[in-house]
Every structure is written in structure tokens, then in C-alpha cells.
Amino acid sequence: MQTLQSVPGMNDVLPADAARWRAMEDAFRATCERYGFGEVRTPLCEFTELFTRSVGETTDVVEKEMYTFEDRGGRSLTLRPEGTASAVRAYLNSVAGTEPLARWYYMGAMFRGERPAKGRYREFHQVGAEAYGDGGPAVDAEIIDLGYAFIRAIGIEHTDVRINSLGSGDTRLRYRQALVDYFTPLKEKLSADSQRRLLTNPLRIIDSKSEQDIALRPGAPRLTDYLGDEDRNHFDAVQSMLAKLGTPFVVDPTIVRGLDYYTRTIFEFKETSGMLGAQDTLGAGGRYDNLIEELGGRPTPAVGWALGCERLLLAASGHTVAAHPPSAMVIAIAKSDELAVQGEALAIAKALRDAGIVTHIDTRFGKADRQFRHGEKHGARAGIVIGSAEIAAGTVNLKDLFAKTQRTIPRASLVDEVRALLSAPTPGGP
């Protein structure tokens, strides 16, 4: 029978990689908590309407990429393609009335039916941060700095922060008209998608991935030329505060973002060494001052971002963690009294584990060599070897597998001795 495969674009994380995922998640939590954000966890699945109303009917995500299905009651549900809409819904359902100034972070799986490639998957993971209730430029700078601080904390060095402003009020409308005026005479040269969007959502032409559209972009009107005074002041203030924080950034007028809910400041975190190829946007975000009201809340400004975990881990490869924690292994050398020795070996492993020490044991037992190899695979340093003679004498043999030395110690001092060995400097190490 053929072995079943996972759904294309949906991947397993095996134990060897999970340590890197956990280290990244821990760094994310720690960084967010330092900036005064609290964690929110929302369902993987929402009513479809939440995404069509927030992300936007004419976006790629809603038009082509959502995993939508009917539940048994005939309601249309969608696996979340992003976290902002769900977080806003949760905010509206909970603290919006009592705690308008909320700061939340989240992490978890998102689903988009895109063509799988390196850095682009159908189930992927995001870490994200959202700040509600503050419309000023300081929180924009602060939250961009939070994203940058986290990216640096996990060891990614080659990052650009690119920022732009979509303005507010009628800025988008005026810019939209300018785009229609510019692209209409060129309509035949646009991709089929963009020809359709010329009427429904011309902004999307500016961030289209089609080569045909990209070729027409250089002469197109620039968003920043359409900002009103207040929007320009806001954008200038964000820049001067970022400079004050020492967060490096560049203004990039070609950023428009692929989701419809944005207003004013928008930004992207790019990996710049080239190692991610075409999928070099680590994450992105911006202000969405109208979304909460559009979803039925009181007018409440908001700003946030999300970073793609798979891309972060690709970009951090070689930097973050993955070192084995200091650990021990227990080896049973057994002949006739096998079960008694194996039982004692298990009891020793349990005693070490109860004391908080990572302990490996090859429960198939068998040849000592094979048991040692099992521990080596996990980078174990302390080897505890027992046989019936040691059990009778109330001792164990403790090996330093790095220094290749061995001592016989009383069973009673096992935990203290192993702990001391695992915290001793590595022979030949730094």
C-alpha cells in the first residue's frame, strides 16, 4: 500500500527542528512581554464573513486562497488566513468597551491555498502583535521597533525595515483615481487579474506579482505624493521617532500591502542577504484605523504586524539554538539477571529526570555499544553504567563521555554528581 503523504504545502515539524521553533517562540513571548503585550489565542476557524469583510473581497487572499467550507449547519467557515481579523473580533467580543487601549500578541497556524515554494506554504505560522486604541505616531514607531528587536533577538542580521504611508480619508480615493488614470491607457498590457482590478481595486496592481504589471510600475503615480497634511505629519513623526529609537528604516513608496484594511503607516521587514529568494518578506503590517468600526465597534485606531515563522527560521538558520541541552544517559549491562538490571536502569533514569536532568535511555537495551550510540546521538555527556555487581554494591559507574573518564560513585550521590558533571566546563571548549 502506498504511504499517505501530508497535504502539499503543509509540513511536519520533527523533534530535531522543534527545539528551534520553541526557542523562537520563547524569544517572541519574552520580547512582547517586555514591551507590555499580552498573549491572545483565537480559534483556527472563523465565520467566512469575518475575512471577506476585513481582509477585503478583491484581495488575493479572499479571492483565491482561503480554505472555506460549510459546516453541518450550512454555515460558511474559513480556516484563518491571517490573525488580525480574528484578534479584532476577539477584542470586540471582550475588552473593547472596558479596556480600549489593549496590546495583544499571538502565534499560530494560518492557512492560504498558495502555490507551495521555499518560504511559501499552505499551512504556515505567524507571530503577530496588535495595539488597539492609540492613533498617534509613537505606537507605530514602538511596534515597528518591537518587530525589529525580535528579529534581531533570534539572530537575523540582514534586515531592512521599509515603511510607507497609505494616508487616510480620501487619500486612497485620490490615489486610486490617479492609478486608474495612469493604467487605463495601458490596460491591454496588464495581467488579466490587474485588468479586472483596474475597476475594483487598482491599488493591488502596485503590489501585483505578475511580471507584466511590474514592467509598467516605474511610471506609475507614487502614493506619498497624495498625502494630506495630517497624514504627512503623522508619517514624518513616525520616522523621527524610529530614528530616535535607533531602528534603521527606509521609506519605500512601492509598498501598498496586499490586504484592504490598512490606513496611514504600512511597513515590511525584509531579509536582505538573498538567502530567502523571492519570499524575502519576513513580515509586514501597518495601521488599520477603520477596521474596528467597520466590524461593528466604536471608532478605534489600531496598528500591528505579523511575521512568518518558517521564513524567520530559514533566515535564522545557522544562528539560533539547536544545541543539545546538557544531558545524561543510562546504560544497563545485563546478563542472566536482565530484567532486574533493566528495571534498575529505568529507576535511575527516573530519579535523574525527577531531579530535572534530561536523561536518555535505550529501552531495547542489548549491546552496550548500541546503547552508547543512542546517547551520543543526543549529545549526552554523563553516562551512568550499571550491572548486577554495581546494584549489589550500591554504586554506579559515572562516565564523562566528553573527557572519556570514568569513576565509581555511591548510588546515593548520583544526582549531585551528574548535576556537577553536566555543569562543568566542556573539555577543550571555550
Name the segment binding ligand HAM (CB under 6 A); options: 43-51, 72-80, 209-217, 279-287.
279-287
Task: Give the nearer residue to ligand HAM in terms of CB position, either 288 or 372.
Answer: 288
CB atoms < 10 A from the CB of 338, how many?
12
Task: Give the nearer residue to ligand HAM in terms of CB position, either 121 or 183.
Answer: 121
**Total residues binding ligand HAM (CB under 6 A):** 27
Contact flag: residue 374 with ligand HAM (CB under 6 A):
no
Q: Which of 167, 304, 383, 387 binds ligand HAM (CB under 6 A)?
A: 304
Task: Specify the DSSP element, H or E, that contains 32.
Answer: helix 15-34
- Residue number of the CB atom closest to ligand HAM: 308
- 260: number of CA atoms within 13 Å, CB side? 21
- Residue pair 51/66 in contact by the 8 Å Cβ criterion: yes
Residues in the chain, total: 430
Contact flag: residue 82 with ligand HAM (CB under 6 A):
yes
Please state the closest distance from residue 257 (CB atom) to ligand HAM, in A: 7
What is the DSSP code string of 47-91? EHHHHHHHT-TTSHIIIII--EEE-TTS-EEEE-S-SHHHHHHHH
Contact flag: residue 106 with ligand HAM (CB under 6 A):
no
Contact flag: residue 305 with ligand HAM (CB under 6 A):
yes
The whole-angstrom separation of Cα 272 and Cα 275 is 8
Q: Which of 281, 290, 388, 397 binds ligand HAM (CB under 6 A)?
A: 281
Contact flag: residue 114 with ligand HAM (CB under 6 A):
yes
Name the segment binding ligand HAM (CB under 6 A); options: 113-121, 225-233, 246-254, 319-327.
113-121
Task: Give the nearer residue to ligand HAM in terms of CB position, either 231 or 260.
Answer: 260
Reduced to 3 states, what is the DSSP secondary structure of residue 331?
strand
Number of helices (H), then strands (E), belonging to the chain: the values are 16, 16
Task: Give me the long-range contacts of 8-11 (CB less than 8 A, separation at least 24).
Answer: 8/116, 8/122, 9/113, 9/114, 9/116, 9/120, 9/121, 9/122, 9/123, 10/121, 10/122, 10/123, 11/121, 11/123
Q: Which of 285, 297, 326, 387 binds ligand HAM (CB under 6 A)?
A: 285
Q: Which three cell numbers stand for residue 367?
A: 549491546
Q: Which of 20, 80, 204, 311 binds ligand HAM (CB under 6 A)?
A: 311
Q: Which of 20, 53, 103, 112 binds ligand HAM (CB under 6 A)?
A: 112
Interface residues toward ligand HAM, by CB under 6 A: 82-84, 112, 114, 119-121, 124, 126, 128, 130, 258-259, 281-286, 304-308, 310-311
